[in-house]
Chain A
């Protein structure tokens, strides 16, 4: 479903927009402008933007902002949203305390 994004493609200069100050990632408090700027700095995938800025890395694990972040990056790259690979889905899918995560028991 996702394609390999051409990194040599010209996506133009970063142009400020009126709503750049709006928070997109509620947990990590990251704005639309920050995400757009990151794309223009050469971060073309969800994973790169996530590791650089931390959107989708907060407590909610991207359940609220994931799709919006993806749409913003895709738009900046002038690609359809489905061209962009989502972040990797990993366990645990819900926030959990480490002591619980490590406490595996056998139930019979």
Chain B
């Protein structure tokens, strides 16, 4: 039987981070993944991550995946791909399918980081080809460059639904609507706002009645639901879409842990009962990442490291003092990520009406995906400011601060509490470098100049679509709700390496539109 000091199951963000940390602590480590490509979901994540520098914020998921993989190889981790763990046996033995045979591996510790699988909601017609998981859409478009459909209805307004919805637009698909049975948008307001300004309608308290079609989805009917989840007659709406994407939550993939016999509990899915290092009720068996409770990839990476520290102590590679030191360091980093409006303790709460700073949260943002100007005014003071300056439309407490780091002139302040709402310091001078616009993972920062002469204002906004607008081109300026406002002329398009594929586009709009115009669409001639 082949032996390692630690065997890690799953080469996603948690598993790779665990393997790297374990190997660095002197353990001979192996990571097994059933997929042909490692990285778990990271390689499907093409958006910039939230958090702060220590959490690799501002870097796109697939780039983080590349870095982790590179590091794993450099430190000498054995990465087994196309290696399907079939079973787990006591004390610490796993059987793995590789090619057409089974091999047993034993280890002194095992870290299970198998991640999560997607939940589903059965409805009439949900087995028709064209009804797919959001993960399936991501796999097809972001890994293999194949569009999952032409016109899509997204079901679920959590971060997965919002992020994948936007990625569908980036892939050149049409998104008909985003619906959720819940009365509030579940994910970050900034993610919702990106979709809203592209004109994507949100239907909250709505679910799918049925999907229909001949051999594939051709038509989908949705309806509003009441408190008892009953359809309200007369509220039906029909969309001619060819695809329905399900993003209705994730559930930990805990079969291996259950098979091992460790204590579990129910928390939206079966999760193992763990100590602070992720050690289960079975000594030397650890769980980290989504399998121990659904969170974001950023926290999974830290969770993986913490489990590795626990395993290294369990196997005698570090002493208790070293373990506690490392734990303190990593847990502090994790603590920062677990704050704000979307933290575990605030999840699903609908009674929060103010930010930590005491400012009224935008209720329109929860319902429609955008803010009204009145609501925004509580966060942003604009009218008296002369010259170009950032208008920060980030109004919920989310753990993220790349904007603060991006401004070398110190214009933007977040502070030690990274879930604080960022503020523009009016005493500092904005040099219009646009780094903040490109750096914001939520694409929520705009550079506005209220007066560029002749009765015009300029608005710079992030743009991640093909093709890029061209200087001199004319089209429509769109509001936060994606509706046509007025004619706009493109006066600048900036791309550079530091912007990392995010272009910053500047348009010229009438002065009175400076706080209304937030996006742009090229005017398509009627005969096209």
Question: Does A89 contact B101, Cβ atoms closer than 8 Å?
Answer: no
Residues of B near A102 (CB, < 8 A) are 102
Name the residue of chain A whose CB is nearest to the CB of B258: A89
Shortest Cβ distance from residue A77 to the other chain B in the assembled complex, whole angstroms:
15
Stretch at the interface among A8-16, A43-51, A90-98: A90-98
Q: Pick from A19, A26, A103: contact of B102, CB below 8 A.
A: A103
| Bound form: Cα–Cα A21–B254 in Å | 30
Residues B246-265 near A (CB distance < 8 A): 251, 253-256, 258-259, 264-265
Output the least CB separation between B394 and chain A (Å). 35
A23 and B126: CB pair below 8 A? yes
Chain A neighbourhood of B87, CB < 8 A = 90-93
Contact residues in B for A68 (Cβ distance below 8 Å): 120-122
Chain B, Cβ-Cβ closest to A63: B117
Q: Is the CB of A22 within 8 A of B126?
A: yes
How many Å lie between the Cα of A63 and that of B88 in the bound state?
18
Number of interface residues of A (CB under 8 A): 34
On whether A108 and B256 interact (CB within 8 A), knowing A1-B266, A100-B97, A100-B101, the answer reads no
Interchain CB contact (< 8 A) of A86 among B86, B126, B270: B270
Contact of A89 among B84, B97, B251, B259 (CB under 8 A): B259
Distance (whole angstroms) from the CB of B375 to the closest CB of chain A: 37
Judged by a CB distance under 8 angstroms, whether A32 is at the interface is yes
Are B34 and A94 in touch, CB under 8 angstroms?
yes
From A22, A82, A100, A106, give the contact of B122 (CB < 8 A). A22
Whether the Cβ atoms of A105 and B103 lie closer than 8 Å is yes
Known: A1-B265, A106-B1. A91 touches B86 (CB 8 A): yes
A-B contact count (CB 8 A): 87
A86, B103: Cα distance in complex, Å: 28
Q: Which residues of B contact A96 (CB under 8 A)?
A: 84, 86, 97
Would you call A103 and B255 a contact (CB within 8 A)?
no
The prevalent SS among residues of A at the interface is: loop
Q: Mark A59-85, 1 if CB is under 8 A from B, else 0.
A: 000011101100000000000011000
Question: Is the CB of B100 closer than 8 A to any CB of chain A?
Answer: yes
* Closest residue of B by beta carbon distance from A72: B122
Is A39 an interface position by the 8 A CB rule?
no
Chain A, 15-57, CB within 8 A of any chain B CB: 19, 21-24, 26, 32
Selected contact of B123 from candidates A22, A67, A90, A104, CB within 8 Å: A22
Q: Return chain B residues, CB-CB under 8 Å to A106.
A: 1-2, 103
Q: How far is A88 from B124 in the complex, measured between Cα atoms in Å?
A: 29
Contacts of B117 in A (CB 8 A): 63
Chain A residues, Cβ within 8 Å of B119: 67
| B120 CB contact (under 8 Å) in A64, A86, A104 | A64
In the complex, the answer to whether A104 meets B86 with C-beta atoms within 8 Å is no
| Contact flag A82-B266 (CB < 8 Å), given A67-B251, A100-B102, A105-B103 | yes
Q: In whole angstroms, what is the CA distance A56 to B113 when docked? A: 23
B2 with A108: CB separation less than 8 A: yes
Complex Cα distance, B102 from A92, in Å, reads 11
Report if B85 contacts A (CB, 8 A). yes
Q: Which of B86, B251, B270 contacts A94 (CB 8 A)?
A: B86
The answer to whether B2 touches A104 (Cβ under 8 A) is no
B95 lies within 8 A of chain A by Cβ:
yes
**How many Å lie between the Cα of A90 and that of B261 in the bound state?**
11
With known contacts A94-B34, A104-B102, A89–B256 Cβ distance under 8 A: yes
Which of B104, B121, B127, B264 is close to A104, meaning CB atoms less than 8 Å apart? B104
The closest CB in chain B to the CB of A32 belongs to B122
Among A1, A19, A64, A107, point to the contact of B264 (Cβ < 8 A): A1
Chain A residues, CB < 8 A from B269: 67
Residues on A with C-beta less than 8 A from B255 are 89, 93
Given the complex of chains A and B, what is the CA–CA distance between A64 and B79 in angstroms?
28
By beta carbon, the residue of chain B nearest A82 is: B266
| A93 to B126 Cα, complex, angstroms | 25
CB pair A93–B2 under 8 Å, yes or no, is no
Closest approach, in angstroms, between the C-beta of B97 and any C-beta of chain A?
6
**CB neighbors of A among B69-88 (8 A):** 84-88
Whether B266 pairs with A93 at a CB distance below 8 angstroms is: no
For residues 111 through 166 of chain B, which have their beta carbon under 8 Å from a beta carbon of chain A?
117, 119-124, 126-127
Which A residues touch B259, using CB under 8 A?
Answer: 89-91, 93
Given A23-B126, A104-B102, check contact A92 B86 (CB 8 Å).
yes
| Measured CA separation A14–B330 after assembly (Å) | 53
A23: chain B residues at CB < 8 Å are 122, 126-127
CB distance A105 to B101 under 8 Å?
Answer: yes
Instruction: Give complex CA distance A100, B2 in Å.
Output: 19
Q: How far is the CA of A81 from the CA of B119 in the complex (A)?
A: 15
List the B side residues contacting A32 at CB < 8 Å.
Answer: 122
B101 touches A103 (CB 8 A): yes
Q: How far is the CA of A108 from the CA of B258 in the complex (A)?
A: 29
Given A23-B122, A68-B122, A91 contacting B101 (CB threshold 8 A): no
- Sampled A-B contacts (6; CB under 8 Å): A22-B123, A82-B266, A89-B254, A93-B86, A101-B86, A105-B103
Q: Which residues of B contact A (CB under 8 A)?
A: 1-2, 34, 84-88, 95, 97, 100-104, 117, 119-124, 126-127, 251, 253-256, 258-259, 264-266, 269-270
| Other A-B pairs, 19, CB within 8 Å; known A19-B123, A93-B86 | A21-B124, A22-B124, A23-B127, A64-B120, A67-B269, A81-B266, A89-B256, A89-B258, A91-B87, A91-B259, A92-B97, A94-B34, A94-B97, A96-B86, A100-B97, A100-B100, A104-B103, A104-B104, A107-B2
9 closest A-B pairs by beta carbon, nearest first, are A91-B87, A82-B266, A89-B258, A92-B86, A89-B259, A89-B255, A105-B101, A103-B101, A104-B102
